[in-house]
A and B are shown apart, each in its own frame.
Chain A
């Protein structure tokens, strides 16, 4: 019996380690090629070529950039608070990695299928601000400090409406577990109801990841690169990796909450022969394309406009939407758990029949 338990333990640990390695390495590769995709896509949008000299179609460009960053000298400013200065990029990077444990990649592909998965994600993403603030403070530089202050207020502002949007999704799905959110039956009309929230969420994650058009914390035209101004070589690379990994993470959260995660699109049963992880990756890639698209299209917001959008537009809108969603679900007897779990409208169009049968 004891041996058996140990064997199971060993198996579990081995599985966890392998899975973790896969996720980490995959994520780093994804980040590398996200930078490549960004340069190529923006190049195409601006009628340029993008990177094209290193390797075929410039495909080895991210590798070359990585090697360049590795081999440069790390400079720590004289006036910097050394420990905090070095800890900031590590925290940002570590946070962008540890959030992935709860993301469901496929039917059984989730490292920790915890009950409060979405709260965990929210907690981790709300901590991302510390990396930035610590970097800005520890650099002991005006530009870096201004960037950090901007970033802190921006991230705190948009988190509020993000939380309310998540509540809307939870009302429909009836669970905090991400796998259950993916597999929750969603009648067509609730998807229509959630669609505006998906748009608001997409805009909020642009602000939350400090991406254009909300990239004021970096603002190279006025504060010369913001909180990253004093960072070089590996410390800068960690920031860069963390920021892009955060973009992928936020896309993955949006996909899990709104786009059906690893399920095939529109609940088409004949598409479910494609492995779920492929659908998941495709959907995340679509969200990332939107990130790049927005950056190539929109000019940067002014700071007061950014705050106005967060507090005066998104916050009231999402608050009203939470009440409305709850009210509608209640009225049509479609709250999860109401009516013994049976839905008033049995058009659970989002889950393909064969996957539903397996459950």
Chain B
């Protein structure tokens, strides 16, 4: 238990600090690297909660794919960030206002949050089921039965978004020479090669 508590505080502290560094680091690449550290610690917290499947998926999806693309884009962009920062101070009042509203809303939400009366029993029942099956299996069983429709709909929405991105960036450029592998494979020596006997002393 002590080890778990220590691990929790370690992950939590590093998570909060790296999240802070994401928004304060001067170099955008450093920001992304701190963001990755934050993802990683969040995954650690999930594992501590016993949700090892979600922890691993968090690392695979966010650290392994999303953050790589972030890093890619940020590295490729050659923006002079000190120029961008020059006028930043004039937006501080608006930023504070939006932050304040969000904080207020979250505060009211938290103050009025109540649990349904029977929730404790249900929680206990769920836990006993989850302990029997390991949590990957438990997730799969609930995802593909009870939440089948929302799950598939989320997949469909992502699919449409993907197609949209492809359609937006697709352009047909004329005059581009592309390798057509099937044509290359279909080529036979007889079609393109001709063996000629050249008598010595004469040209072809």
On A, residues with C-beta under 8 Å from B are 81, 84, 114-116, 119-120, 122-123, 126-127, 129-130, 133-134, 137, 145, 149, 152-153, 156, 159, 163, 176, 304-305, 308
Contact = CB atoms under 8 A, between A and B. Distances in A.
Interface in B12-60: 27, 29-30, 33, 36, 52-53, 56-57, 59-60
B56 A123 contact: yes
Contacts of B136: 115-116, 176
Contacts of A134: 33
A114 B52 contact: yes
Main secondary structure of the interface of B (DSSP, over half): helix
Interface string B170-199: 000000000101000000000000000000
Contact of A116 (B53, B63, B71): B53
Interface centre among B64, B65, B135, B136 (most CB of A within 10 A): B64
Contact of B63 (A114, A127, A149, A308): A127
A308 B181 contact: yes
The list of the 5 closest CB pairs from A to B, nearest first, reads A126-B64, A119-B56, A123-B59, A115-B134, A123-B60
Interface string B71-82: 110011000000
B56 A130 contact: no
B183 to A, nearest CB: 14
B179 A152 contact: no
A119 B64 contact: no
Contacts of B33: 84, 134
Nearest to B69: A156
B57 to A, nearest CB: 7
10 contacts: A114-B52, A115-B53, A116-B53, A123-B63, A126-B64, A130-B68, A130-B71, A145-B75, A159-B65, A176-B53
Nearest to A305: B179
A340 to B, nearest CB: 15
Given A127-B63, A176-B136, A116 B52 contact: yes
A133 B60 contact: no
Contacts of A137: 29, 75
B53 A119 contact: yes
Contact of A156 (B27, B29, B59, B65): B65
Nearest to B64: A126
A276 B56 CA distance: 29
Contact of B60 (A122, A149, A304, A308): A122
Contacts of B30: 84
Contact of A127 (B64, B69, B72): B64
Contact of B68 (A81, A123, A152): A152
Contacts of A152: 68, 71-72
A130 B36 contact: yes
A130 B35 CA distance: 13
Given A116-B56, A116-B136, A119-B53, A304 B63 contact: no
Contacts of A114: 52
